[in-house]
C-alpha cells in the first residue's frame, strides 16, 4: 500500500508518482535523470543489502524525488542523500522535513564526484548511469556494502567470470574489492522517463581478496594496461603497454614470467593470476 500525501516513517510508503508530482519537476533524460516508479522494484532494493550489513547510516547517491530515499528511511537509522539538482534537493528537505529535523536525513547538495562523502555504513543508490564507473570506484575502496543500480551491460561486466565475453578490466577491478552479484534485472518500464537501456541491481559485498597486492594502484594500472590489448597475448600486452602500466623494463618482466602465462590473453586471466603477474612485474620491471 502506498500513500499520495507526505507521511511519517511509521506510515505507509510514499507513492512514487505522487513524489514526482510534489517535486515539481520531472526527470530529464538529457541530464541522466530516470526515476523509479515501480513500487515492487523500489521496495525490494533495500532488502538486497547483506543480512549482516550495518544499517546505521546509509548513503544514497542521486535522491531525485525521494522514491528510494523513502524506503531507505524505513530500513536504516540514518540516511544521507547526495543530490546535485537544486530543485530536487529542496524538495527532499521539504518532503522529509520531519526526518531532517530528527537528524535522520541529511541532504547534501552537490556533485557526488566532488563533495566530501560522510562516513557511511552502506550505500544503496539508483545511480546516474553517466557516472557509474567514476562513482563506483569512489565507493569501492571504502570497504562498505553497496547495492547499486546500473545499466545492464555495465553491471553484468562487473560480475563476469574470467573466460566469458563480458569479462574485462571492470570485472577484475570491481572483484578486487568485493564479491559481486547481479540481484535483479529491471525493465525500462520501471522508470519515468523510460531509459533507452535495461538495468540491473548489483550487490557488492566487501571482502579481502584471496591474493596479495603490494601496490594497489600499480595492480589496477597493470590490469588496465593489459586489457587495452585483450586480443593479444600477455607477452605482447606487457611489451606494448609500458606507457600505461608504468613499467620501465617490460622485457625483463617477459623474461621472468612463466611461459604458460605469457601465452594467455587477458580475458582468460583470473584476478589472482593478474595479482601474481603484477607482483612479478613490480619486482622486475619498474
Same domain membership, residue 233 and residue 101 = no
Task: Give the pLDDT mean for 176-198.
Answer: 94
Same domain membership, residue 152 and residue 101 = yes
Summarised one tens digit per residue, pLDDT across range 227-253 is 999 999 999 999 999 999 999 999 999
Question: How many angstroms separate the first and last alpha carbons of the chain?
Answer: 61
Same domain membership, residue 169 and residue 101 = yes
- The yes-or-no verdict on residue 11 having pLDDT over 80 is no
pLDDT above 70: percentage of residues in the chain: 96
Same domain membership, residue 159 and residue 115 = yes
> What CATH number corresponds to the domain at position 103?
3.40.50.150
pLDDT bracket for residue 209 (50, 70, 90): very high
Same domain membership, residue 279 and residue 185 = no
Is 72 inside any structural domain?
yes
> What CATH number corresponds to the domain at position 241?
1.10.8
Task: Give the pLDDT mean for 47-53.
Answer: 96
Question: What's the pLDDT score for residue 29?
Answer: 76
Same domain membership, residue 202 and residue 220 = no
Same domain membership, residue 55 and residue 184 = yes
- The yes-or-no verdict on residue 190 having pLDDT over 90 is yes
- The yes-or-no verdict on residue 25 having pLDDT over 90 is no
105 is in an annotated binding site: no
For the record, the C-alpha cell of 281 comes out as: 612485474
pLDDT bracket for residue 8 (50, 70, 90): very low
Where among 182, 206, 230 does a domain terminate? 206
62 is in an annotated binding site: yes
Where among 177, 206, 235 does a domain terminate? 206
Same domain membership, residue 254 and residue 141 = no
- The yes-or-no verdict on residue 6 having pLDDT over 90 is no
- Using CB atoms within 10 A of its CB, is residue 17 exposed (0-12), middle (13-18) or buried (19+)? middle
268 is in an annotated binding site: no
Question: What's the pLDDT score for residue 272?
Answer: 96
Is 187 inside any structural domain?
yes
Is 120 inside any structural domain?
yes
Same domain membership, residue 232 and residue 146 = no
Where among 149, 180, 206 does a domain terminate? 206
Task: Give the pLDDT mean for 189-204.
Answer: 94
111 is in an annotated binding site: yes
Question: What's the pLDDT score for residue 33?
Answer: 79
Q: How many CB atoms lie within 10 A of CB 138?
A: 14
Same domain membership, residue 239 and residue 167 = no
pLDDT bracket for residue 102 (50, 70, 90): very high
CB 200 within 8 A of CB 182: yes
Task: Give the pLDDT mean for 117-131.
Answer: 94
For the record, the C-alpha cell of 11 comes out as: 506510515
Is 16 inside any structural domain?
yes
- The yes-or-no verdict on residue 4 having pLDDT over 60 is no
Is 222 inside any structural domain?
yes
Is 22 inside any structural domain?
yes
126 is in an annotated binding site: yes
Summarised one tens digit per residue, pLDDT across range 252-278 is 999 999 999 999 999 999 999 999 999
CB 158 within 8 A of CB 150: yes
Same domain membership, residue 223 and residue 149 = no
Same domain membership, residue 271 and residue 189 = no
Is 211 inside any structural domain?
no
Question: Range of 160's domain?
Answer: 2-206
110 is in an annotated binding site: no
For the record, the C-alpha cell of 159 comes out as: 560480475
Residue 159 backbone phi and psi in degrees, to 5: -95, 0
Is 111 inside any structural domain?
yes
Count the domains in the chain. Answer: 2
- Using CB atoms within 10 A of its CB, is residue 119 exposed (0-12), middle (13-18) or buried (19+)? exposed
Average pLDDT, the chain: 93
pLDDT bracket for residue 138 (50, 70, 90): very high
pLDDT bracket for residue 150 (50, 70, 90): very high
Amino acid at each position: 500500500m502506498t500513500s499520495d500525501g507526505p507521511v511519517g516513517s511509521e506510515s505507509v510508503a510514499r507513492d512514487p508518482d505522487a513524489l514526482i508530482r510534489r517535486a515539481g519537476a520531472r526527470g530529464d533524460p538529457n541530464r541522466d535523470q530516470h526515476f523509479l516508479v515501480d513500487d515492487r522494484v523500489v521496495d525490494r532494493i533495500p532488502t538486497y543489502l547483506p543480512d549482516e550489513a550495518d544499517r546505521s547510516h546509509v548513503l544514497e547517491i542521486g535522491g531525485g524525488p525521494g522514491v528510494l530515499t523513502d524506503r531507505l528511511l524505513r530500513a536504516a537509522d540514518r540516511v544521507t542523500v547526495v543530490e546535485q539538482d537544486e530543485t530536487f534537493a529542496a524538495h527532499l528537505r521539504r518532503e522529509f522535513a520531519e526526518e531532517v529535523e530528527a537528524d535522520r536525513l541529511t541532504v547534501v547538495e552537490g556533485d557526488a564526484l566532488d563533495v566530501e562523502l560522510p562516513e557511511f555504513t552502506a550505500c544503496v543508490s539508483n545511480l546516474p548511469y553517466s557516472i557509474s564507473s567514476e562513482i563506483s570506484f569512489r565507493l569501492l575502496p571504502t570497504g562498505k556494502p553497496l547495492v547499486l543500480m546500473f545499466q545492464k551491460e555495465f553491471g553484468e561486466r562487473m560480475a563476469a567470470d574470467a573466460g566469458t565475453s563480458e569479462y574485462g578490466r571492470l570485472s577484475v577491478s570491481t572483484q578486487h574489492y568485493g564479491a559481486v552479484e547481479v540481484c535483479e534485472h529491471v525493465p525500462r518500464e520501471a522508470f519515468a522517463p523510460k531509459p533507452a537501456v535495461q538495468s540491473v541491481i548489483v550487490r557488492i559485498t566487501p571482502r579481502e581478496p584471496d591474493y596479495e597486492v603490494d601496490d594497489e594502484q600499480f595492480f589496477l594500472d597493470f590490469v588496465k594496461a593489459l586489457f587495452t590489448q585483450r586480443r593479444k597475448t600477455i607477452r605482447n600486452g606487457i611489451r606494448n603497454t609500458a606507457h600505461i602500466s608504468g613499467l620501465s623494463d617490460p622485457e625483463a618482466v617477459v623474461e621472468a614470467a612463466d611461459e604458460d602465462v605469457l601465452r594467455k590473453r587477458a580475458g582468460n586471466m583470473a584476478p589472482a593470476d593478474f595479482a601474481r603477474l603484477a607482483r612479478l612485474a613490480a619486482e622486475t620491471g619498474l
